[in-house]
Chains A and B, each alone.
Chain A
């Protein structure tokens, strides 16, 4: 394709001016369409802007954090309780063993008791 023909094509196919008042007619149609579109309610609009979404996200974060802390605290308490129960059981066992040892000793060496 020669440069000359390309040049002539560019000249022949130059942009044309739109008819007078074209932009005004487009703007009028857009304004009409905009006016006929139902306006969202205030809270919906707020939701649309992201306000409610941010609030929901924040509330979710706070509740997750609170749940985590409570769960951790509860686990700690359960651990303490189990430890105390174990210590009590060990103490009981220990006293029982001591009593049993003394009884056995008394049976084996009655003379010691008589002296």
Chain B
């Protein structure tokens, strides 16, 4: 089992009436009305500090991601964050998980191949290469990608990137969306023929199918918790079996919001405002900015229309205790959290848990305490899961050896600070 710290880098200090002033956390909020560059500088630094803190505390990996024009998370270029993390974690047994740069909105996509190769070189072969298609609002609004072209561009771009990493000859790429006469990438990644490829998805079966066809790792980035993800992951494992793939849990990564404190009551109280801030203010994305015609291929669109997401609950109608009860956020004492997580890990068959230990308006001290408690009191109970039977083929090869207990790493960190 691998446990990785995920971070969105949100705006942590929105005005209280933000969700009355705006109908969306994406696109609409005007920078100068709500944000402050000095504060944002602090957020970027705090985000890096928190991820590095998790790395030292014994997490297996640290994750960045790319979003644009919103308050929910704005690592506009995750490679910039990844570069700091790669450099600062040299010598540590930690993967740099870029989850990641969005191919359809970067032209030519060899730019991302170069950035990822740089990260793999800087980190000494510790890169996990994540390739999201990008949220519709990111790709087609912020970056102007034609909606119906988004997935076609993505697939062509990924094929080009992977070829460019390992091709021995200079080659021309005469594609539909990209034409390059002479591709000869400098640098190439240390990991050959390519670093592990992880592909995030929101549960669309065409993405899962693509991931399985190419034997990559599927990352289900849901904010509704493992309790509400079983239908998606069951479909994924069924499809894996149909396609003759094995049941190796490392084929699946899953994101979960988590808050740990000394007792259940303390955790429920401590994380309430941050959970409500996350779901009420940050995750405030109207349908007209995400269900943009063309972003889903025809079959997936029909599938989604049949599923009828309009019946889903509006998070604004829910309070912190509802988010806890419904499993959107796993909160509690270390014992509660590890029991719940182990249930989820087994029930979904996830090999990589992406722990969102910073969410919403959480100040950095609260986040670091969360990381610390998790690393000492939860992680040791999870880490041996699956490893007796399965090898993580979607992990940097140099990091696959059995590692020291995270608690020891945390202790040495405490001694050093």
Asked if A and B are interacting partners, one says: no
Residues in chain B within 8 A of chain A (CB atoms): none
Which residue numbers of A lie inside 8 Å of B, CB to CB?
none
